[in-house]
Structure 1
Amino acid sequence: MKKLALLLVLLAGSFLTGCGVVDSGGDRMRRVGQINDIQARMAVDDWDYFWLYERDSRLTEWHSRVGY
């Protein structure tokens, strides 16, 4: 009976914890670097549009999605 109770407690605990984060520290740093790079390029586009008095556009030469 004790083994069954222990098994149920362990089984319930495994369902409550769920899956862990699979990204490593290097993966997170690479993703943050990519996001910062994209945002910096978009800021340069916005700055150029402001000073060159170009009309607003949602199009950009920089892709906001990374290919993988």
Structure 2
Amino acid sequence: MKKADPTTAVWRKSSYSGDDGGECVEVALASPSPGVVPVRDSKDPSGPVLLFPSAAWQSFVSSLRDGSLPFG
């Protein structure tokens, strides 16, 4: 299996991220590895990247959208 290289990814900042320097999350638009979703802190683009299985990320996003998480 090819190892994910998030440095080659194109990133999109979350629409929930503000411009006030607070909670800023970016998600890679096209993952460098199939089945993986890279996520990082936009305030630290050279910092750590979390790699989530695609199904887990989709479940998380769906839970945010439908309000089933307490902070969505």
Fold equivalence (TM over 0.5): no
TM-score of the superposition, structure 1-length normalised?
Answer: 0.27
Structure exhibiting the larger radius of gyration computed from Cα positions: 1
The structure whose residues are more often strand, as a share, is: 2
The structure whose residues are more often helix, as a share, is: 1
TM-score of the superposition, structure 2-length normalised?
Answer: 0.26
